[in-house]
Structure 1
Amino acid sequence: MASSSSNKLVFLAFLLLFVFSNNLVAGKPQKVKLNLYYESLCPYSQKFINDDLVKLFESDLKLVPFGNAKVSDNLTVTCQHGEEECKLNAIGACAIKTWPNPKMHYWFIRCVEKDTKNWESSCFKTYGGEKTIRDCYSSNLSKKLILGYAKQTLNLMPKKEYVPWVTVNGKPLYENYEDFVAQMCKAYQGKAPLPKVCNSSASAKKKVLKLQVSYGEDFHH
């Protein structure tokens, strides 16, 4: 009886080891954490969202709509591009709340940033969510969300220097953010093969104009 029980335990141990080893080798891609701290109406943030960010989704994507805004002692938010930016930042925050999945809210926010003049007629028609987002924006929820993003942005270590501000696994890319695909592929540590984009021309380094917007006292670039 003791021998039989011992054999069962040995078999179970080998079975667990096999399953663990098989999962480790096959592995699921370990997502790289990509955070984008941005502001609406900023042309450089818009370019990154519209042209660059779309390249890669094998990541744990987080959008933080606050950018270079400021919060006063009475919790009033002042935005670099005026009230319209504050509105669209709040709309972005409400979209993230409405669709927690980045693969859903990203496309809505991208739609807004591609056409900030006519987004209401086009983006709601394409992606829906109109009532939920409008209710969020017109209530205290939008302000609560923005203040939450303000805290995340203002508490960054090291501090944000400009927008868009991109971090990979918590580390800022600084002037290399336009080459974020290559940086993310470098940070990837999954056991499975690299995402296809890492083997494409999208991951190749390119010489591009450094895009960054600092926050001035007069709210201008």
Structure 2
Amino acid sequence: MASSSSNKLVFLAFLLLFVFSNNLVAGKPQKVKLNLYYESLCPYSQKFINDDLVKLFESDLHRITDLKLVPFGNAKVSDNLTVTCQHGEEECKLNAIGACAIKTWPNPKMHYWFIRCVEKDTKNWESSCFKTYGGEKAIRDCYSSNLSKKLILGYAKQTLNLMPKKEYVPWVTVNGKPLYENYEDFVAQMCKAYQGKAPLPKVCNSSASAKKKVLKLQVSYGEDFHH
């Protein structure tokens, strides 16, 4: 009986070793953490979401990326937990809508496209984005309840506790490290940070050969800043 149990243990040990080794050979991707801290009515946040971040899903880069969107930006939280946004109440609303979209569709491949739709037309998004992507009841229910406030306060905590602290929006980090003025070059930075066993995404080869400098503009936190 003891011999039979020992044989089973040996068999299980070899099976686990085989599965572990097979995973290494297969090269399961090790995800690179890409975080975007933004606010909905900041034109530079809108540009990054619409024109730059879309590269993630229009290429094979998404397979090695763990994307996290954090809609709070330069907002402030008072002692009584009232949130005030840099661009007024409408921005607070759209930040909350973004938070509810992320809650409704946890998969970045789904909530990114809805948020991008909102950011492309912040005035008329309701007539087009719900029709295109759905989720209207879940997002409206989330927004009209206390859930949206809880979500925003959670994002506030993440944003305000950043180390090093956020200096402007959009604020982009790769594996927790801010890209500063090079945030629009996030593709190259993602490729550089990738340590997985699988081959690099094809976009990494093209981005290396097509590098170009772009004028960088950021939104400061100062009270006297106006768009």
**1:45-56 correspondence to structure 2 within 5 Å:** 45-56=45-56
Q: How has the CA–CA distance of structure 1 residues 18 and 131 changed in structure 2, closer, same or farther, with 3 Å as cutoff?
A: closer
- The 8 Å contact of residues 181 and 203 in structure 1, kept in 2 or not, is answered as no
- Structure 1 runs of 4+ off > 2 angstroms? 1-22, 201-205, 218-221
Q: How has the CA–CA distance of structure 1 residues 93 and 161 changed in structure 2, closer, same or farther, with 3 Å as cutoff?
A: same
State the shift of 1:201 in Å. Answer: 3.6
* Correspondence for 2:31: 31
Identical pairs, percent: 100
Task: List gaps (5 residues or longer) in structure 2.
Answer: 60-65
* Correspondence for 2:20: 20
- The 8 Å contact of residues 188 and 207 in structure 2, kept in 1 or not, is answered as no
Q: How has the CA–CA distance of structure 1 residues 70 and 11 changed in structure 2, closer, same or farther, with 3 Å as cutoff?
A: closer
Q: How has the CA–CA distance of structure 1 residues 42 and 219 changed in structure 2, closer, same or farther, with 3 Å as cutoff?
A: same
CA distance in 2, matches of 1:9, 1:134: 54
State the shift of 1:215 in Å. Answer: 1.4
- The 8 Å contact of residues 32 and 58 in structure 1, kept in 2 or not, is answered as no
Task: List gaps (5 residues or longer) in structure 1.
Answer: none
Deviations 1:71-101 (A, max 9, x none): 1111111111111111100110111111111
State how many pairs are aligned: 221
* Correspondence for 1:128: 134
State the shift of 1:17 in Å. Answer: 3.9
Q: Structure 2 length normalisation: TM-score?
A: 0.88
State the shift of 1:180 in Å. Answer: 0.2
- The 8 Å contact of residues 100 and 139 in structure 2, kept in 1 or not, is answered as yes
State the shift of 1:141 in Å. Answer: 1.2
CA distance in 1, matches of 2:218, 2:151: 25
State the shift of 1:205 in Å. Answer: 2.5
- The 8 Å contact of residues 182 and 203 in structure 1, kept in 2 or not, is answered as no
CA distance in 2, matches of 1:5, 1:137: 57
- The 8 Å contact of residues 73 and 169 in structure 2, kept in 1 or not, is answered as yes
Q: How has the CA–CA distance of structure 1 residues 2 and 203 changed in structure 2, closer, same or farther, with 3 Å as cutoff?
A: farther
Identify which range, 209-218 or 46-55, moves more after superposition: 209-218
CA distance in 2, matches of 1:71, 1:48: 25
- The 8 Å contact of residues 39 and 67 in structure 1, kept in 2 or not, is answered as yes
Q: How has the CA–CA distance of structure 1 residues 219 and 15 changed in structure 2, closer, same or farther, with 3 Å as cutoff?
A: same
CA distance in 1, matches of 2:102, 2:225: 26
Q: How has the CA–CA distance of structure 1 residues 219 and 210 changed in structure 2, closer, same or farther, with 3 Å as cutoff?
A: closer
SS at match of 2:155: helix
